[in-house]
Amino acid sequence: MRILVTGGAGFIGSHLAEELLQRGHEVWALDDLSTGRLENISSFEHNPRLRFLEGNVMDSTLVYELVSQCDRVFHLAAAVGVKYVLENPLRSLLTNIRGTEVVLEAAQKYRRKVILASSSEVYGKGVSVPFAEDDDRLMGPTHKLRWSYACGKAVDECLAQAYYQQYQLPVVIVRCFNTCGPRQSGAYGMVIPNMVQRALQGEPIQVYGDGQQSRCFSAVSDVVRAMLLLADSHEAEGQVFNAGSDEEVTVGDLARHIKRLCQSDSPIELVPYEQVYGESFEDMRRRVPDLRKIRRVVGFRPQVPLDRLLEITIRDHCERLGIHCPIEVPAA
């Protein structure tokens, strides 16, 4: 099968592309390299079944041409990361909404199945934990652009659902929860890469807020596996699925885990949100997925526990920094 992966040089997209190649597929990876990196695909860039195309997902002529020649589309191209979204709110909204619109239009014309990567951000300030796919959502005010990413992703989901209901376009929506692992950059505010890098370099490990907010950090290998299971499921079409891990940890405890695994002397430093993101920043206290639906439909269960995920990530950072790894970690 020839498969188009938008955002194919991004963090999740590169792992998805690599797994698809390993399964014998031909992969066309589209990325404008705004947040993606050629380094992410360097380990398999010479695979003859990989075709990398530098381009923007909002380029309708290009996207139509690519979709017409592919059998399936994984749409992962997006502006990601709290820091990036806050610094580039308009670009983020246009990329995330218009880009999805272009992909769905092309997929409808050529009747291609689309797997749409969404985000746990769409749950906003919801307090009904764990979050189930059919839960009501609660967003902050529109003048607080911290919520623009969540709103943009919600619009993406609505567009996909409309194409499914009106045109029977086969679409599957995957809400990814705090996905982490090798190749992830901390440049756009990602929690684990930033903490690991600071711990390894002996710098203060920064915890934003009071550290009591909790998350479920998911291994990218688990999220990719979930996407592929859902892509092959006819029953999943027209539906939304949470994907990731339901192992909850506070951000403060996460920092302590990372410090221990890195054998670091770095102090843990609490940093007020407003010092990093400005006065208007808001955050949710807990973010935990209900995984019963994806388990029932495709049998997905996360396989990588948090400690193992941290070990894999630390080893990846050590290799990239060219420093000795403080822990013995078997190959991923």
**What DSSP letter does each residue of 196-222 carry, written as one string?**
HHHHHTT--EEEETTS--EEE-EEHHH
Interatomic CA distance for residues 266 and 56, integer angstroms: 40
Phi-psi sector, 7: left (phi>0), alpha (psi -120 to 50), beta: left
Tokens representing 297? 């439909």
DSSP string, 57-100: TT-HHHHHHHHHT-SEEEE-----SHHHHHHSHHHHHHHHHHHH
Provide the annotated active-site residues. 149
Closest alpha carbon to 4 in 57, 59, 48, 61: 57
Angle between helices 89-110 and 60-68 (to 10 degrees): 40
